[in-house]
Amino acid sequence: MSTPSRITTCAVIALAACATTQRADTPSVKFGQPAAADEIARVDISIPPSGAGLPAGSGTAREGLKVYEQKCSACHGAKGTGKPADALAGGVGSLASKAPLRTVGSYWPYATTLFDYVRRAMPLNAPLSLSDDEVYAVSAYLLFLNGIVGEDVAMNAQTLPQVKMPNRDGFISDWPPRARN
Amino acid sequence: MNKKSGRRDFLARGAAVVAGAALMPSARAELAGEPWERVYGTGFTKYGQPSRFEQSVGRHLGQPYGELAPGSGAALSPIEALDGIITPNSVHFIRSHSGTPDIDPKLHRLYVHGLVERPLRFSVDALLRYPRITRTYFLECSGNSSRALTPQPAQVPAGGMHGNVSCAEWTGFPLRVLLDEAGLRPQAKWLLAEGADSAHMSRSIPLEKALDDAMIALYQNGERLRPEQGYPVRLLLPGWEGNMSVKWLRRIKLTEEPTHTKDETSKYTDPLPDGRALQFTFEMGVKSVITRPSSTMKLAEPGFHEISGIAWSGAGRVRRVDVSTDGGRTWNEATLLGAERPRALVRFRHPWRWDGTPAVLLSRATDEKGNVQPPRREWQARYAPDMRFHNNSMVTWAVEADGSVKHVYA
C-alpha cells in the first residue's frame, strides 16, 4: 500500500520539476510587430493552383513572344528548346520512355506555377523586373509553345488557373509518407 | 622602470647565456630543430585559416552553367578530407539556385502571415532575442550522389559525388515559437517558406514538421550563419531534403494546401518508371559512404588501414553501419561515433589490414526504424532512368593491387 503512494509522490515531484524546467526554458516572449495588409501584399508573391493572389493584368502568346526573345531565349533557346538552361517545351508522351524530357508542357502539373516562378525568379539577371502583363504574356507563350493554349488566348487571373496541364494527374503525393525500403 | 632599460637588461642577460654556452662545446652540439623552431612565429590573425599545406582542401564546385551563372549549382563538401562529424563552416556544402545574396541584417525582415490570427513582421534583432536552443543536424541536398548515377562510374574524390551533405551545430529556436505568436487558424495545414535570394526559393512544408522539430537557425558551429548558408536567418528542417531548409528566410505563409512551387513540382519530385512521379518525398533515406580510403586515393603499402566514413538517416538515429572488404560477401559491424544523436552525421570506423590483393569496399547503414541502405541496382530499379534525387544507395570502392582506389558500380 505504501508503494503506490510513493510512486504517486515521485510522479508528482517529477511532474513539478518538469513543469518548472519548461517554464524556465521557454518563457513566453513576443518580439513580432503587427504587419499591415499592404506591407504583406508587397512580398506575398506565391501563387497556388487556385490562382489566389494572381494580380490584375493579362497577356497573350503573341505578346509573350517578344518578351521571350528579349529576356528568355538566350538561356532557354529559341522556342523553349533549352540549352544552356532547361528546355521549356516538348517531351509530351516521353515520361515513361527511356529518355524522358521533362518540360513545362510534359511535366509541370499547374500553369499557375509558371506565373509564380517567372515573376519571382526570372530573368535570372533581373528577377522582379517584368510587369505583370509581361509575366502573363510570357506564361501564355510557353503554354502556346507546348500546344496547350492558342496564340491569341489571354492569360489572366481568371484564365490561367483554369488551364489543364497535360501532366496534371501525373503525381502521387508521398505526404503523409508511405513505407519505403 | 622604463621599457628601454628593461630591454637592455634582457639583452645583457641573453648575451651572458650565449657567452656561457660558448664555454661548453658539448652543449653546442647540433640540437634537433627545424627552421620554424628557430624563428619567432607569425602574429595573430582575427579570423583563422587552415595551414598553407592544407590549401588543396576545399569544396568541389559544380557549376553547370559556368560563368553564366556561377552561383547556380552546388559546391560539395570535401568529405574525403574531413574527419569527425562536424563540417567546418568554410567547407559546408552549398546548393543555391541564384547565387548568394548580400543581405543587410538591418534591412532584412521575416513575415509570418496567411492563415494566422496576427500577421507579424520580425526584424533580425527581434529574432536574436528569443531564448535559444542548440542542436546538431545533418543537411543533405536531395540531389546528393546524383553524380553516382552516370552511365560509367566517375573517377573523382568522394566529396565530388557524395559531398552534398554536411553536419553542423545549429543554434536558434523552434519555428513553432513564431507560429504560436502569430496564432494559427484551424484551416492552416501547410506553410510556404520563401527566401530573400533572387530566386526567392520557395517550398511548401506540412504543418506537422513545422510544429515538430523545425528550427529558425541563426548560428552555425558557434558563429552567425555564413552568407551562403542563409545569413542572417534560415529555416532548418532536420532530416528532410536540404532544399526545404530555406535560406535567407523572408516569409512564412500559412496555407490550407501546398502551393506547388516550381521546386516541388518540376524539380525535387521523384520520377517512376511508369511515367508518374512521387511528390513531397521529404525525408532523406538512411545512407553511408566510406570516405577513407575512397576514390582517387592510393594506399601506400599493404598493412593496417582504417576504414572510416559517415552515415546518417533522416528518420532518426543510425543504429549500425556494416563494412565489407570483399564486395559484400561478408560484413563487419563498424564502431560508431555520435550514434546517440538523431538526424546528425555519425562517424564510423573499422580497422582493416590490407593484404595487398584487390579488395572491394562497401558500407551499409541501418537506422533505428529498421530502414536499410539499399544496393545501387535495387534503388535504381524503383525509378525512371533520369531520377536524380534521394539516391541513398550503397557506394563501392575497389582497391587495386597497386593500392589505387577506384569508384566502381557493384
Q: Identify the closest residue of chain B to A50 by CA–CA distance.
A: B259
DSSP H stretches of helix in B228-354: none
Confidence class for position A28, pLDDT limits 50, 70, 90:
confident
A177 band by pLDDT with thresholds 50, 70 and 90: confident
Q: Note whether A173 and B265 are within 8 A (CB).
A: no
**Is the residue at A140 inside a domain?**
yes
Q: What contacts B68, CB < 8 A, 6 or more positions away?
A: A75, A84
E strands, A3-73, in order: 33-34, 58-59
What total number of domains does chain A contain? 1
For residue B116, the 8-state DSSP code is: B
A contact test, residue of B107, B190, B253, B369 with most A CBs within 10 A: B253
Q: Which residues from A are below 8 Å from B386, CB to CB?
A: 99-100, 102
Q: Judge whether A122 lies within some domain.
A: yes
Q: Chain A within 8 Å of B70 (Cβ-Cβ)?
A: no
Residue of chain A nearest B123, judged by CA positions:
A32
Residues 105-164 (A) with a CB less than 8 A from some CB of B: 107-110, 112-113, 116-117, 120-121, 124, 127
A32 CA: distance to closest CA in chain B (Å): 5
Q: Which of B206, B266, B271 sits opposite A108 (nearest CB)?
A: B266
Give, for all 410 residues of chain B, the pLDDT tens digit: 344 444 444 444 444 444 444 555 555 678 999 999 999 999 999 999 999 999 999 999 999 999 999 999 999 999 999 999 999 999 999 999 999 999 999 999 999 999 999 999 999 999 999 999 999 999 999 999 999 999 999 999 999 999 999 999 999 999 999 999 999 999 999 999 999 999 999 999 999 999 999 999 999 999 999 999 999 999 999 999 999 999 999 999 999 999 999 999 999 999 999 999 999 999 999 999 999 999 999 999 999 999 999 999 999 999 999 999 999 999 999 999 999 999 999 999 999 999 999 999 999 999 999 999 999 999 999 999 999 999 999 999 999 999 999 999 98
Give, as one character, the DSSP assignment of residue B283.
B
> Is the dihedral angle over the CA atoms A176, B318, B147, B380 positive or is it negative?
negative
Instruction: Tell the CATH topology of B94-276.
Output: Sulfite Oxidase; Chain A, domain 2 (3.90.420)
Size of interface A-B (CB pairs under 8 A): 164
Asked whether residue A58 is domain-assigned, the answer is: yes
Give the closest-approach CA distance of A4 to chain B in angstroms.
Answer: 33
Task: Give the dihedral of Cα atoms A136, A137, A141, A143; nearest 10 deg.
Answer: 20
Min Cα separation B361/chain A (Å) = 22
- Return the bridge partners of B81, or none: none
What is the rounded CA–CA span in Å between residue A114 and residue A117? 5
Q: What local confidence, expressed as pLDDT, does residue B402 receive?
A: 98
Residues of A in contact with B280 (CB under 8 A): 173-175
Residue B96, all three cell numbers: 543555391
Q: Which residue from B minimizes the CA distance to A173?
A: B279
Which residues 10-29 in chain A show a CB within 8 A of chain B? 25-27, 29
Q: Is residue A151 part of a domain?
A: yes
In a domain, A34, yes or no: no
- What pTM value is reported for the model? 0.90
- Angstroms from B327 CA to nearest CA on chain A: 21
Give the position of cell 621599457: B3
Asked, for residue A68, whether it belongs to a domain, the answer is yes
E strand or H helix that includes residue B318: strand B318-324
Which residue on chain B is closest to A105 by alpha carbon? Answer: B266
pLDDT in tens, B82-132: 999 999 999 999 999 999 999 999 999 999 999 999 999 999 999 999 999
Nearest to A172 among B123, B253, B278 (CB): B278
Residue in chain B closest to A170 (alpha carbons) equals B276
Instruction: Look at residue A27 in the predicted model and tell me its pLDDT.
Output: 63
The CATH number of B287-408 is which of 1.10.10.10, 3.40.50.300, 3.40.50.1000, 2.60.40.650?
Answer: 2.60.40.650
ipTM: 0.90
Residue A178 inside a domain? The answer is: no
The CATH number that applies at residue A156 is 1.10.760.10
Chain B residue whose CA is closest to A48: B259
Q: pLDDT band for position A126 (50/70/90)? A: very high
Put simply, the answer to whether A95 touches B250 (Cβ < 8 Å) is no
Is A7 a domain residue? no
- Domains of chain B: which residue ranges? 94-276, 287-408
Confidence of residue A1 (pLDDT cuts 50, 70, 90): very low
pLDDT confidence of residue A16 = 42
What domain range includes position A135?
46-162
Residue A111 near residue A160 (C-beta atoms within 8 A): yes
Task: Decide if B255 contacts B193 (C-beta within 8 A).
Answer: no
